[in-house]
Amino acid sequence: MDDDLGHPVALTTPPRRIVSLVPSLSEALAVTVPDRLAGVTDWCTHPAGLDLPRVRGTKNPDRAAIAALRPDLVVANQEENRQLDVERLRAAGIPVWVTAIESLDDALRSMRRLFTEVLAVDEPAWLRAATASWAQPAPAPRLRVAVPIWRDPWMVIGSRTFTGDLLTRLGLDNVFGDDAARYPRIELDRLHAATPDLVLLPDEPYVFTEKDGPEAFPSVRTVLVPGRQLTWYGPSLATARRELLDLIRGS
């Protein structure tokens, strides 16, 4: 069986001990197959109260700690995890399943494969609900939007991203959606010159708050949004569309 990048992953039986190096997938696994999740990263915060061994971060996982948990599968992501760590885990004899997600369709397809083909369980109810929710047409009229994800230096959502695809499906046109970079660094003057109708300020990876972020856009409507609704592709997708639209329309 091949992972999302086409790398063969040798599994003779459905995995029973899984270490997740991706917060979104950790939540998905904890909700769907809680008895199989053996370890997660320090950044895996959902579901609330997740009480499992930690294997450090997404960019610097403790490979010895992972091996000590005796997983029969590690799940990773092409963007969030380093190829070097994936290669070294594989060299140590640990199977690694790497997901590659640049759109909502990628996310839904990837998670469906992981659960139904790799883990051999029924498609989760939250995944069916997410598929139905995001199949609804984008609302009108469309708005021009910018989504900073960091400041000092300022960075925004660019092209070929999962979040960018969600924006489109929310009826929002990303003013940096044609940038060559996925997460371009920009000067604040360039952000203003793009003339967005709306600026969305998520609380991750940079923690924008009422006192840190909106003041940079005095002439543009800003909306603080949970980063999990905008960037995670696990169970939160089942309610993210409605919750994001409520925030955008209610501000």
pLDDT category of residue 140 using cuts at 50, 70 and 90 = confident
The answer on pLDDT for 83 being more than 90 is: yes
Average pLDDT of the segment spanning 225-244: 95
Average pLDDT of the segment spanning 46-61: 95
pLDDT category of residue 66 using cuts at 50, 70 and 90 = very high
Rg (CA), the chain: 19
Q: Residue 139 contacts by C-beta under 8 Å, 6 or more apart in sequence?
A: 170, 171, 245
* Three-state DSSP state, 154: strand
Average pLDDT of the segment spanning 85-91: 97
> What pLDDT shows up at residue 249?
87
Residue type at position 64: A
> What pLDDT shows up at residue 109?
97
| Residues 203-218: tens digit of each pLDDT | 999 999 999 999 999 9
> What pLDDT shows up at residue 53?
97
- Segments in 186-235 forming alpha helices (H): 188-193, 227-231
Our measurement of the distance from residue 13's CA atom to the centroid of its chain's CA atoms, rounded to an integer in Å, reads 28
The answer on pLDDT for 190 being more than 90 is: yes
**Nearest residue to 67 via CA among 1, 17, 10:** 17
Average pLDDT of the segment spanning 22-46: 97
Beta-ladder partners of 150: 155
The Cα–Cα gap between 61 and 141 comes to 44
Question: What is the pTM (predicted TM-score) of this model?
Answer: 0.92
The answer on pLDDT for 245 being more than 60 is: yes
| Residues 94-122: tens digit of each pLDDT | 999 999 999 999 999 999 999 999 999 99
Average pLDDT of the segment spanning 24-28: 97
Average pLDDT, the chain: 96
Contact (CB, 8 A) for 154 and 185: yes
The answer on pLDDT for 251 being more than 60 is: no
> What pLDDT shows up at residue 250?
80
> What pLDDT shows up at residue 65?
97
The Cα–Cα gap between 144 and 161 comes to 17
pLDDT category of residue 248 using cuts at 50, 70 and 90 = very high
Domains in the chain, CATH or no CATH each: 18-123 (3.40.50.1980), 143-250 (3.40.50.1980)
> What pLDDT shows up at residue 243?
96
> What pLDDT shows up at residue 46?
95
